[in-house]
Amino acid sequence: MDSTEQVYASEATGWQRGLYEDIERTTGLVGSIWRTLTYHEPRFARYAWGQIKPVFGTREFAAFSVAFRDTFLSAAEPDLPGYDAADVDLDPGEYAALRGQLARNDFLAPRYYVTQHPAPEWATRVRGQPLTLLPQDEARARIPGSPYVVPGEFGEMVPSEYRCIAQWPAFLERAWADLEPITGTDEFGTAIERSHSLVDTFFGRLQYTPKLAPDTLASMGFDEGTIAELRDLFETFKAGGRGVIPLSPLYAATVDAAGERRTLAFP
């Protein structure tokens, strides 16, 4: 499946619009994985969302989201920078908008991490301001040749988080320069590995598990080729997300917009 072919929110009509509104209310953003599925496999998109949505209302997920955030922030401290408006050349209104959208990215990061791990086989209210995203072309123009452009199977795509942050290029340039060394440390690599264990533990504790295994999909009439393409798509987004999603709590923390870290015990 070509993940550059998507049904964007501005193009969604009928059931697509209803699906997107439900996803945004629950996770904070209609990300590329849902837009791609809606374009290529609309029946699966509706079914998968119906299977995955219930997990976000569980206490187990609330605890997981707190542990997810703390895992990456703990690995980044004490080197994590903090910025006020002057540090990143923003006026107070721009800085408030930046903080609000970074808080929303911090909120949605664990939700998209779980979405990309819908089953082992293959705290929380919505925070922050609704995200505004630059078009792909404009985002690429603002950050050309940067590490924020995901190559390979994604095509030349700027992930949603960076399409958001690119609205404040001075902040992005400063923050990336400060955070890049942190992401290369052994501690941060260990945090990524721990996040994989956290999501496995999370699904293991759920009383309800999304029914997305290949046998289940086959029984619903999906052929082997489609199931293989779906598996590959999830793996592609999972691999690309590893370089984006773990940074969401860090970006938010630089402007004191990260959420709770230790209010619920997990695992």
Position 36 in a domain: no
Convert the pLDDT of each residue in 153-211 to its tens digit.
445 677 778 888 889 989 988 998 899 899 889 999 899 889 888 888 888 888 888 88
Position 37 in a domain: no
Average pLDDT of the chain, as a whole number:
84
Convert the pLDDT of each residue in 131-147 to its tens digit.
888 887 788 777 755 55
Q: State residue 239's pLDDT score.
A: 67
Position 264 in a domain: no
Tell me the C-alpha distance between 58 and 64, whole Å.
10
Residue 9 host element (H or E): none
Position 52 in a domain: no
Q: At what angle do helices 59-76 and 186-205 cross, to 10 degrees?
A: 170
Convert the pLDDT of each residue in 211-223 to its tens digit.
888 889 999 999 9
Position 198 in a domain: yes
Total domains present in the chain: 1
Q: State residue 151's pLDDT score.
A: 45
Position 9 in a domain: no
Mean pLDDT confidence for 239-262? 83
Position 159 in a domain: yes
Q: State residue 163's pLDDT score.
A: 84
Q: State residue 147's pLDDT score.
A: 53
Instruction: Count the alpha carbons within 13 Å of 138 in the hemisphere toward its beta carbon.
Output: 12
Q: State residue 89's pLDDT score.
A: 96
Convert the pLDDT of each residue in 1-30 to its tens digit.
887 789 998 999 999 999 999 999 998 889
Structural domain of residue 218, as residue ranges?
60-254
